[in-house]
Amino acid sequence: MQQDLPQHLQHQLRHQQQPFICRTMESGLGQPLVDNHQGIGHPVRDNAGKVLGYSSQCDIKPRIQHFYFNGSGFKTFDVENGYKTPPADMKTVVANGESIPFVVRVEAGTINRFIYTIAMLERAPWNRKLVYWMRGGVGIGHQQGTAIWFNDKLNSSEKQLMPKLLAEGYAIANSSGNESGVHYNMRLAEETAAQTKAYFAEKYGQPVYTIGIGGSGGAVQQYLFAQNRPGLFDAGIPVQSFPDMVTQSIPISDCPLLGQYFRDEVARDPKSPWATWSRQSLVQGMNASDTAKNPFTGKPGTTECINGWRFAMPSVLNPHFRDNKFDKAITYYGYAPNVFAKVKWTHWNDLEEFYGTDAEGFAPIPLDNVGVQYGLAALVSGKLDANEFLRLNACVGSWKEQRDFVQYKLDSDPFDSANMHRSTTCREPVGIPAQRREGDQKAIRAAFDSGHVFTGKQLGIPMIDLRPYREAELDMHNARQAFSVRARLLAANPGEAKRQVVWFVRPDADLAVQVMTAVSVLDKYLASGSAPAEFADRCVDSAGVVLASGPDAWRGILDGGTPGACTQAFPIHSSPRMVAGESIRGDTFKCRLKPLEKAYTDGTYGAAVSFNDAQKAWLSRIFPQGVCDYNSGL
């Protein structure tokens, strides 16, 4: 247990979540072992469907299976006969100057209730270096996840990268507990990785070094493990990173609120300026397109809020909304309908060991938009007039409390609007503004205390933050995230910022080649103990040719200087909170408030904006407690 975790939270990590679905059957690894007959955990059945007992730990006995590489993927290999009569499509690999069959030995078992795998070339020496592989997503727990090598579970990027890593002699370890789509308890993920690595070292030998590799939530794990568990990894390649996912919920919670406002405005007046989708970026900050296909309407015109994040808020905020994979698993394993009846399907309840719960069993939530002036930058720049700014902020509203939520109507409501505070008179200068939401201070503190927020105080290892540039696709892995990480490092511990470099690649570039280049650079770094020249910010084109490299490559993003070559080639967007005045760090759950009278005189609204008396009265009704002062945010 980490000693830097506050004492009142240390004991809680030992708690094991129930109910908890074991998924070894889906992984092709058979039934979990029975460990009790008291009905605790997962039902274990015989071939006739009769319950033999229950498994609270989801354990299986370790086993070895072999796979061969055929050039595009891995297939099961018969080790008894396969070397005598090799499959026609089996490839070879060169090891120590000798061509050998490309056969991989994979061990699978369970540690900490999750399924681990350890993969190595079968007939070649291990290079004594370990890659720890992590997957992404944002899950709500209550399940084990599946083994990545079995039942053809490797995804497309893994099928591209695993052969390259294995061919160079790396061992690859993984656990389903290090897939953030299985759960997003980062302290549980950290403990699982530590235990899996310890088992690897005990059985196969201590690696010379361990490099973490993973995308999205797998990238988040690398940053948070570096912060919370120094020494677990020696270097990392976070791909399509976020600093963490908890602070992502801040601007993403705004997306549906703003989207519903725009939708209402267009419904009231089809000629509304907000009918032009690209204009919504003025307030949302994220990219928008007038030509990209909208997944709800099927017509041209959409935003990153919709294409990238449309299911994000229901999946972390709506206690009634659960992934349909759960329903399939519940049915598949024959769970009684009431077993999961009391589960509240939110990120906050999933981590109730840290956040706690109220008398009704709901975990407190840190999301807050009191005092947030949506569209402020657009107002100051003259792209949004004062009345529209006032109407927007009067009508945007907020999320209701958990007890008031209802089921999300997935097919008909892109924004989960039934769970928002709305007002029928908000558009009137003398009307009633829609209610804003105040975040729970204890929940905010718990998010930081439990290590679920990347603060920038600790990195400690070299990281190559590698990002396919997908702004045109309105992808959720937007380009600003790598610089959000760096901004936090610069604010909290500037020396640590030197350990992170940012590499951007065009979306059609060969990402596997770029990852292997990053592995090579980190290998040099770890072997020599100092950064090689290649460990530098850079960007490459579709052919993998370096466009620019060095300290000036990304100039202009964080320093306000003349844009560097990479900054010009790969423009980044912002977020609703950045448009409202927050910094690119994006780590302010609840802003400090200042009186409107101060905001009128301190330059908040720029030199060109002035409100008349009626508009000031309207503004006072919208923000009775004052407006955000992000220069002194929490």
> Does 323 share its domain with 190?
no
For residue 92, give the 3-state DSSP assignment.
Answer: strand
Boundary residue ending a domain (152, 187, 207): 207
Which residue's entry shows tokens 């949004």?
Answer: 384
| Maximum CA extent, the chain | 89
Residue 325 confidence (pLDDT): 80
Do 207 and 198 meet the contact criterion of CB atoms below 8 Å apart? no
- 173 falls within a domain: yes
List, for residues 49-98, the tens digit of each pLDDT value. Answer: 899 999 999 999 999 999 999 999 999 999 999 999 999 999 999 988 89
Q: What is the CA radius of gyration of the chain?
A: 26
> Does 316 share its domain with 175?
no
- 89 falls within a domain: yes
List, for residues 601-621, the tens digit of each pLDDT value. Answer: 999 999 999 999 999 999 999
> Does 267 share its domain with 394?
yes
List, for residues 10-59, the tens digit of each pLDDT value. Answer: 433 456 899 999 999 999 999 999 999 999 999 999 989 899 999 999 99
Question: How many other C-beta atoms lie within 10 A of the C-beta of residue 594?
Answer: 18
> Does 55 share its domain with 162?
yes
Instruction: Find the distance separating the first CA and the last CA of the chain, reported in whole Å.
Output: 28
**Range name among 192-206, 384-398, 408-422, 575-589 with the lowest pLDDT average:** 408-422
> Does 64 share its domain with 157?
yes
Distance (Å, whole) CA 599 – CA 610: 11
List, for residues 250-302, the tens digit of each pLDDT value. Answer: 999 999 999 999 999 999 999 999 999 999 999 999 999 999 999 988 999 99
> Does 258 share its domain with 194?
no
> Does 427 share its domain with 568?
yes
For residue 250, give the 3-state DSSP assignment.
Answer: helix
396 has a pLDDT exceeding 70: yes
342 has a pLDDT exceeding 70: yes
Two structure tokens written together for 333? 């394993």
Boundary residue ending a domain (176, 207, 238): 207
- 622 falls within a domain: yes
> Does 188 share its domain with 285?
no
- 213 falls within a domain: no
Q: Tell me which residue range forms the domain holding 308.
A: 248-452+557-634
> Does 410 share its domain with 296?
yes
> Does 426 share its domain with 350?
yes
> Does 260 share its domain with 116?
no
Distance (Å, whole) CA 500 – CA 237: 10
**8 confidence band (pLDDT: 50, 70, 90):** very low
